[in-house]
Amino acid sequence: MSVSLTWGTTPEERLFAFPCDRHVEDFDQAYYRGITIRASSETIFCWLCQMRVAPYSYDWIDNFGHQSPRKLIPGMSHLEIGQSIMTIFELVEFETNRQMTIRNKKKAGGSKIFGDVWVSYLIREQATSMCRLLAKVIVRYPAGPIGWMGRTLLPWGDLIMMRRQLLNFKILAECTTTGV
């Protein structure tokens, strides 16, 4: 499999049941992302909740040039189904300190370009204060030429953006854990 579809994950991790699998049976493609973070699941989950206010990837591209917050904002961990995540997504389900599943909003217009997109962020503890943060992206591409372009370009574009996002979460969570 191409690195654009599997970055940072093992074949075994790609076999896990992800929460987004419960929401979509018929899809065109799945992308997997993963990173090891030396922090507790609680700390990592707090950083995932910060996506309510910022995407944490390349801010100059997808946050209108504003830097994603580098300190935890109080209250962001109080999640409710339907909340906006990274502006173009909405919260579909969550399990505190374990997982967050989101879907692109129909009203945001992204579905015309990217199709229907669901993402589950899954935190798996490996040892005391060490976890794997895994993500599975499920895509149902739009029909026609836009869908064909999406099949070609979206896996690589998502890899670039989500890799930066996961690396930022790693840095921020590990600094939060150590008190830096």
Residues 67-77: tens digit of each pLDDT: 888 999 999 99
Contact 137, 3 (CB under 8 A): no
Query: Of 40-54, 109-123, 143-157, 165-179, where does the model show the most confidence?
Result: 40-54
How many separate domains does the chain show? 1
Please give the single-letter amino acid code of residue 109: G
* Percentage of the residues of the chain whose pLDDT score is greater than 90: 70
Alpha carbons 142 and 113: distance in angstroms, whole number? 7
| Cβ 86 vs Cβ 51: under 8 Å | yes
Question: Beta strand pairing status for 99-104 and 116-127?
Answer: antiparallel
Q: What is the pTM of this model?
A: 0.92
Q: Indicate the average pLDDT of the chain.
A: 90
Higher per-residue confidence, 139 vs 109: 139
Helix (H, G, I), strand (E, B) or coil at 78: coil
Helix runs in 50-178, H state only: 59-62, 110-114, 144-178
Determine the Cα–Cα distance for residues 157 and 91; give it in Å rounded to an integer: 22
- Which range marks the domain in which residue 72 is found? 3-178
38: which 2 tokens?
């030396």
CATH code for the domain of 159: 3.30.530.20
* pLDDT beyond 50 at 180: no
Q: Provide the token pair at 175.
A: 């600094």
Mean pLDDT, residues 22-33 taken together: 93
SS3 43: helix
- Helices and strands of the chain, counted as H and E runs: 5, 6
